[in-house]
Amino acid sequence: MAITSSTTNGGGRPQLAATSRRLGERAIIGALALAAVISVLVTVGIVVALLIPSVEFFSEIPFAEFFGTSEWAPLFEPPAFGVPPLIVGTLSTTFWACLVALPLGLGTAIYLSEYARPRVRSTVKPVLEVLAGIPTVVLGYFALTVLTPFLRALGWQVEIFNAFSAGVIIGILLLPTVTSLSEDAMTAVPSSLREGSFGLGANRFQVSTRVVVPAAISGIIASFVLAISRAIGETTIVLLAAGQLARVSFWPGESVMTMTAFIAGTGSGDVPTGSIEYKTIFAVGLTLFVLTFILNIISIRMVRRFREIYE
């Protein structure tokens, strides 16, 4: 190394200048940055794909008809384009899903975080996560062939396809989502807070409900919001178990059609490109995307706020 001669270095190009421009390395980093841009392009692609046909759709079918009339029959003659039945169908399955996933997920999270011994925790947690890895088509099979017959055996004459079965099974699917995010939030609550309260003579119940849950609340709400978003977007289970009958019905035993079921059902068919039926897919898709996007952003914001407090 030519260190010794550097004392005589007078002006000119510094000795310590880069010996190579390292073009290969720059190319690699450029390629990595390009990879990072692809994920943005996916979102742009989704927005473009949804927006263009939707604009065309709404130039033919006014907003007022789309959101303000309650009959959905785009493939019939004469067609009707009132989206409320689909929204009601979606809300109905989502409601039952939340009724299962939110309280049970939170309860499991509190149990694992505050009550369970480490050994129980390290056994139960991965087993529950298996639930999250079960393909939705399997859960749909379960809803249709096990839960619905079971409800009938109990004497509740639900339809073969019904919002309740689909919703409950979506709730089971989302249990691990709520549990693991909520538990993360509770685990992040500093143990000094718990110890302080135990020191005041509080019992585990009081510490859980009055200290840990309030301190982790934004993380817990984030998990709830994310679960709602997932329930709204779930497709396979509702296609198999809730049916394809578009009607305004909140009755859990009846068949409904969700937004996702309509998209999948119509999209897998042979509707001709450019027809109004084809564009309907995108108008409903846009509605679904906007709805879940708002929920996702709320959830992401709440998680970030939570992290800012404790990290």
Partner 1 sequence: MDPTSETPPAAPSSPVATGGGLATLSVEDRPAADALPLDQREVVFDCEGVGVRYDGKRALRDVDLRIHANAVTALIGPSGCGKSTFIRCLNRMNDLIPGASVDGAVAYHGENLYHPQVDPIEVRKRIGMVFQKPNPFPKSIYDNVAFGPRVLGMKDQLDDRVEQALRRAVLWDEVKDRLKEGALGLSGGQQQRLCIARALAVEPDVILMDEPCSALDPISTSAIEDLMLSLTNEYTVVIVTHNMQQAARVADMTAFFSVDQGETGARCGVLVEVDRTDKIFTNPAHERTEAYVTGRFG
Partner 2 sequence: MNTAGRIAGERAGVAVRESLAGRRNRSVAAGVFLGYLLLSTVVGLVALAVLLATILHDGLPYVDAMLFTNSPSADPERAGARPAIIASILVAVVLIATALPIAVGTAVYLEEFAPKGNRLIDLIELNIQNLAAVPSIIFGILGLAFLVRGIDLGPVLLAGALILGLQMLPTVIIASREALRAVPDSVRQGGMALGATRWQVVWREVLPAAIPGIATGSILGMSRAIGETAPLLMVGAATFVSFNPGLLTQYTVLPILIFQWIKLPQEMFQGLAAAAIIVLLVILVAMNGFAIWMRNRYERKW
Residues ≥6 apart with Cβ < 8 Å to 87: 259, 287
Residue 12 binds partner 2, judged by CB under 8 A: no
CB of 9 to partner 2, least distance (A): 19
CB of 236 to partner 1, least distance (A): 42
What is the x/- site pattern for partner 2, positions 69-108, by CB under 8 A? ----------------------------------xxxxxx
* 3 state DSSP class of 133: helix
Residues ≥6 apart with Cβ < 8 Å to 242: 89, 93, 161, 162, 163, 165, 166, 167, 255, 256, 257, 258, 261
Residue 263 binds partner 2, judged by CB under 8 A: yes
Residue 247's nearest CA partner among 256, 239, 238 is: 256
Indicate which single residue of 69, 70, 187, 235 sits in contact with partner 2 (rule: CB under 8 A). Answer: 235
Number of chain positions touching partner 2 (CB under 8 A): 103
Footprint of partner 1 on this chain (CB under 8 A)? 1, 3-4, 6-7, 9, 13-19
**Other CB atoms within 10 Å distance of the CB of residue 91:** 15
Take residue 57 and report the two structure tokens written for it: 């759709």
The option from partner 2, partner 1, none interacting with 13 (CB < 5 to 8 A, set by class) reads partner 1
Residue 250 binds partner 2, judged by CB under 8 A: no
Which DSSP symbol is given to 244?
Answer: S
Phi–psi pair at 159, nearest 5 degrees: -70, 160
The option from partner 1, partner 2, none interacting with 149 (CB < 5 to 8 A, set by class) reads none
Residue 15 binds partner 2, judged by CB under 8 A: no
The option from partner 1, partner 2, none interacting with 122 (CB < 5 to 8 A, set by class) reads none
In the region spanning residues 23 to 62, those forming contacts with partner 2, defined by CB under 8 A, are 25, 28-29, 31-40, 42-43, 45-46, 49-50, 53
CB of 247 to partner 2, least distance (A): 21
- The whole-angstrom separation of Cα 259 and Cα 234 is 10
Which DSSP symbol is given to 77?
Answer: S
Q: Which is nearer to partner 2, 61 or 106 (CB)?
A: 106
CB of 159 to partner 2, least distance (A): 16
Between strands 72-73 and 80-81, the pairing is: antiparallel
The option from partner 1, partner 2, none interacting with 4 (CB < 5 to 8 A, set by class) reads partner 1
Q: Which is nearer to partner 2, 36 or 64 (CB)?
A: 36
Q: Which is nearer to partner 1, 24 or 201 (CB)?
A: 24
- Contact between residue 92 and residue 171 where contact means Cβ atoms under 8 Å apart: no
In the region spanning residues 172 to 191, those forming contacts with partner 2, defined by CB under 8 A, are 172, 175-176, 179, 190
Q: Which is nearer to partner 1, 27 or 138 (CB)?
A: 27
- The whole-angstrom separation of Cα 102 and Cα 227 is 8
The option from partner 2, partner 1, none interacting with 1 (CB < 5 to 8 A, set by class) reads partner 1
In the region spanning residues 118 to 157, those forming contacts with partner 2, defined by CB under 8 A, are 124, 127-128, 130-131, 133-142, 144-146
Residues ≥6 apart with Cβ < 8 Å to 8: none
Residue 207 binds partner 2, judged by CB under 8 A: yes
Q: In 40-65, which positions are buried (b, 16+ CB within 10 angstroms) versus exposed (e)?
A: eeeeeeeeeebeebbebbeeebeeee
Take residue 51 and report the two structure tokens written for it: 């927006």
CB of 88 to partner 2, least distance (A): 18
CA atoms within 13 Å, Cβ hemisphere of 305: 14
